Amino acid sequence: MDTQAQIAVVTGAGSGIGRAVAVELAAAGWTVALAGRRAEPLEETAKLAEAAGGAALAVVTDVSSPTEVDALFATVRDTYGRLDLLFNNAGTFGPGGVPTDELGYADWQSVVQVNVTGAFLCAQGAYRLMKSQSPRGGRIINNGSISAHAPRPHSVAYTTTKHAMTGLTKSLSLDGRPYGIAVGQIDIGNAATDMTHRMQTGILQANGELAVEPVMDVTEVARTVHHMAALPLAANIPFATVMATTMPYLGRG
């Protein structure tokens, strides 16, 4: 695949996994449209992407807003003429450590709006562009989570949305077949980002204890996404899991 002409949208690109993926793609020659709610972190990512050798465009976007998502994909269409990849990465954990019966409705709704509605809106925007462009088709990679398989204590909103992401991935993959749209999901466990900082200081386990968990370098996630993205559209990785090797996931901890 000639990645020199490839156009990608990365949501949640202002930090963490989104930033790492954007820089990895840029280093491989992709042009990357960076979406996120805050302009300053997006501009920082754009500078890193450009320093890595790629081109980048920051587009301030709240993925839970249909109007702003429409504007994002219109900008990509008008600027580049096509879209080859959406990394559907924007997400929020919500308030941590809150038992199910104490979680407020507004907190539940805010997690669902970003993690599920936002992912759907961005996928819909990518679909519309990928179906109408010539040559037709493209790829969507959804950011799931280890929580798409197994929950942590007091994570009902986040875990529910990540299970929903798996259903979204499967439906998008099926519906994309006639249009050359390949869809996959990466489930990530304990990548070292600001979101996972507490894993290095002690996080609640299923048995009620606090324990420090191992983490992995976020660049390993970026490399995995790049591998999925670089496949020809005739091939697809529907689900991939990349995790810190000894994190408490497989087995009983």
Chain center to CA of 120: 12
State the catalytic residue, choosing from 105, 158, 179, 249: 158
- Contacts with 109 (C-beta within 8 Å, 6 or more apart), sequence order: none
Report whether 89 contacts 18 (CB < 8 A). yes
- The DSSP result for 47-77, as a single string, is HHHHHTT-EEEEEE--TT-HHHHHHHHHHHH
Q: Is 158 a catalytic residue?
A: yes
Torsion, Cα 220 245 169 48, to 10 degrees, reads -20
Nearest to residue 86, comparing CAs of 18, 170, 158?
18
- Active site members: 158
